[in-house]
Protein backbone atom coordinates (compact mmCIF):
# COMPACT_ATOMS: atom_id res chain seq x y z
CA UNK A 1 0.00 0.00 0.00
CA UNK A 2 2.90 2.38 0.79
CA UNK A 3 4.28 1.92 -2.72
CA UNK A 4 0.93 2.73 -4.32
CA UNK A 5 0.53 5.93 -2.29
CA UNK A 6 4.13 6.88 -3.00
CA UNK A 7 3.72 6.31 -6.75
CA UNK A 8 0.52 8.36 -6.88
CA UNK A 9 2.08 11.24 -4.95
CA UNK A 10 5.17 11.17 -7.19
CA UNK A 11 3.06 11.22 -10.36
CA UNK A 12 0.90 14.11 -9.17
CA UNK A 13 3.86 16.19 -8.09
CA UNK A 14 5.70 15.54 -11.35
CA UNK A 15 2.79 16.90 -13.37
CA UNK A 16 2.41 20.01 -11.24
CA UNK A 17 6.17 20.63 -11.09
CA UNK A 18 6.56 20.46 -14.86
CA UNK A 19 3.61 22.79 -15.38
CA UNK A 20 5.13 25.31 -12.97
CA UNK A 21 8.57 25.46 -14.60
CA UNK A 22 9.06 27.83 -17.52
CA UNK A 23 12.71 27.46 -18.47
CA UNK A 24 14.07 26.92 -21.98
CA UNK A 25 12.36 24.15 -23.93
CA UNK A 26 14.75 21.35 -24.79
CA UNK A 27 14.48 18.17 -26.78
CA UNK A 28 16.75 15.43 -28.07
CA UNK A 29 17.92 14.97 -31.63
CA UNK A 30 20.04 12.83 -33.90
CA UNK A 31 20.82 14.07 -37.40
CA UNK A 32 19.24 11.98 -40.15
CA UNK A 33 17.19 9.76 -37.82
CA UNK A 34 14.05 8.29 -39.39
CA UNK A 35 10.70 8.80 -37.67
CA UNK A 36 10.13 5.11 -36.87
CA UNK A 37 13.55 4.75 -35.22
CA UNK A 38 13.11 8.10 -33.43
CA UNK A 39 9.82 6.90 -31.89
CA UNK A 40 11.20 3.45 -31.00
CA UNK A 41 14.22 5.00 -29.27
CA UNK A 42 12.03 7.51 -27.41
CA UNK A 43 9.73 4.77 -26.14
CA UNK A 44 12.58 2.46 -25.16
CA UNK A 45 14.41 5.18 -23.24
CA UNK A 46 11.21 6.47 -21.59
CA UNK A 47 10.52 2.96 -20.30
CA UNK A 48 13.97 2.91 -18.73
CA UNK A 49 13.03 5.77 -16.43
CA UNK A 50 9.36 4.88 -16.02
CA UNK A 51 9.90 1.29 -14.93
CA UNK A 52 12.91 1.98 -12.72
CA UNK A 53 12.48 0.46 -9.25
CA UNK A 54 13.13 3.48 -7.05
CA UNK A 55 12.45 1.67 -3.78
CA UNK A 56 16.18 1.23 -3.09
CA UNK A 57 17.16 4.78 -4.07
CA UNK A 58 18.03 6.99 -1.10
CA UNK A 59 15.36 9.69 -1.72
CA UNK A 60 12.63 7.00 -1.65
CA UNK A 61 14.03 5.52 1.54
CA UNK A 62 14.13 8.97 3.20
CA UNK A 63 10.58 9.69 2.02
CA UNK A 64 9.23 6.41 3.41
CA UNK A 65 11.17 6.67 6.71
CA UNK A 66 9.90 10.19 7.22
CA UNK A 67 6.28 9.32 6.67
CA UNK A 68 6.55 6.21 8.84
CA UNK A 69 7.79 8.48 11.62
CA UNK A 70 4.99 10.96 10.94
CA UNK A 71 2.48 8.11 11.00
CA UNK A 72 3.76 6.92 14.38
CA UNK A 73 3.51 10.46 15.75
CA UNK A 74 -0.04 10.75 14.43
CA UNK A 75 -1.08 7.47 16.04
CA UNK A 76 0.99 7.82 19.23
CA UNK A 77 1.45 11.54 19.91
CA UNK A 78 4.35 12.43 22.18
CA UNK A 79 4.22 14.82 25.07
CA UNK A 80 6.66 17.19 23.37
CA UNK A 81 5.10 19.68 20.94
CA UNK A 82 8.37 19.75 19.00
CA UNK A 83 7.61 16.22 17.82
CA UNK A 84 4.35 17.11 16.09
CA UNK A 85 3.11 15.33 12.99
CA UNK A 86 3.45 18.47 10.87
CA UNK A 87 7.04 19.02 11.98
CA UNK A 88 7.87 15.44 11.11
CA UNK A 89 6.41 15.81 7.63
CA UNK A 90 8.30 19.08 7.07
CA UNK A 91 11.58 17.42 8.12
CA UNK A 92 10.90 14.68 5.57
CA UNK A 93 10.95 17.30 2.79
CA UNK A 94 8.61 15.28 0.53
CA UNK A 95 8.85 17.74 -2.38
CA UNK A 96 12.64 17.55 -2.34
CA UNK A 97 12.61 13.74 -2.20
CA UNK A 98 10.21 13.60 -5.16
CA UNK A 99 12.39 16.01 -7.17
CA UNK A 100 15.48 13.94 -6.34
CA UNK A 101 13.75 10.73 -7.47
CA UNK A 102 12.53 12.35 -10.66
CA UNK A 103 16.09 13.54 -11.35
CA UNK A 104 17.32 9.95 -11.02
CA UNK A 105 14.68 8.72 -13.46
CA UNK A 106 15.34 11.54 -15.93
CA UNK A 107 19.06 10.78 -15.67
CA UNK A 108 18.36 7.19 -16.72
CA UNK A 109 16.40 8.39 -19.76
CA UNK A 110 19.11 10.88 -20.71
CA UNK A 111 21.83 8.25 -20.37
CA UNK A 112 19.83 5.93 -22.64
CA UNK A 113 19.36 8.65 -25.29
CA UNK A 114 23.03 9.66 -25.14
CA UNK A 115 24.02 6.02 -25.53
CA UNK A 116 21.95 5.88 -28.71
CA UNK A 117 23.77 8.90 -30.16
CA UNK A 118 21.21 11.61 -29.37
CA UNK A 119 22.14 15.09 -28.21
CA UNK A 120 20.13 17.72 -26.36
CA UNK A 121 19.16 20.91 -28.18
CA UNK A 122 17.21 24.03 -27.21
CA UNK A 123 14.20 25.11 -29.24
CA UNK A 124 14.03 28.69 -30.49
CA UNK A 125 11.12 30.89 -29.46
CA UNK A 126 9.55 30.41 -32.89
CA UNK A 127 9.88 26.62 -32.57
CA UNK A 128 8.33 26.71 -29.09
CA UNK A 129 5.45 28.80 -30.43
CA UNK A 130 4.86 26.33 -33.26
CA UNK A 131 5.14 23.37 -30.87
CA UNK A 132 2.51 24.91 -28.57
CA UNK A 133 -0.05 24.66 -31.39
CA UNK A 134 0.06 20.87 -31.24
CA UNK A 135 -1.70 19.03 -28.43
CA UNK A 136 0.60 17.04 -26.14
CA UNK A 137 0.75 13.40 -27.18
CA UNK A 138 -0.58 14.10 -30.67
CA UNK A 139 0.93 12.54 -33.77
CA UNK A 140 1.37 16.02 -35.29
CA UNK A 141 3.43 17.10 -32.26
CA UNK A 142 5.63 14.00 -32.55
CA UNK A 143 6.14 14.64 -36.26
CA UNK A 144 7.07 18.28 -35.61
CA UNK A 145 9.57 17.34 -32.88
CA UNK A 146 11.06 14.72 -35.17
CA UNK A 147 11.52 17.33 -37.91
CA UNK A 148 13.56 19.38 -35.43
CA UNK A 149 15.43 16.40 -34.04
CA UNK A 150 16.53 14.94 -37.38
CA UNK A 151 18.16 18.09 -38.76
DSSP string, 31-72: TT--HHHHHHHHHHHHHHHHT--GGGSHHHHHHHHHHHHHHH
- Does pTM surpass 0.95? no
Phi, psi of 115 (to 5 degrees): -65, -25
Could you read off the pLDDT of 27-54 as tens digits, one per residue? 999 999 999 999 999 999 999 999 999 9
CB atoms within 10 A of CB 126: 8
Could you read off the pLDDT of 89-100 as tens digits, one per residue? 777 787 888 899
Q: Taking CA 101 as the corner, what is the angle to CA 48 and CA 99, rounded to the nearest 5 degrees?
A: 125
CB neighbour burial string for 6-33, b if at least 16 within 10 angstroms, e if fewer: beeebeebbeeeeeeeeeeeeebbbeeb
| Position with higher pLDDT, 62 vs 112 | 112
| The residue count for the chain | 151
Q: What is the pLDDT of residue 78?
A: 65
Amino acid sequence: MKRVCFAVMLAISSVSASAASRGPVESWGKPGIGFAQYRADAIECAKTGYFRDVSQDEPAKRFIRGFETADRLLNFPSVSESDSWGDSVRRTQPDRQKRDLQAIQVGDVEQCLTGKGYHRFTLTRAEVKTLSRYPRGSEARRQYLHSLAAR
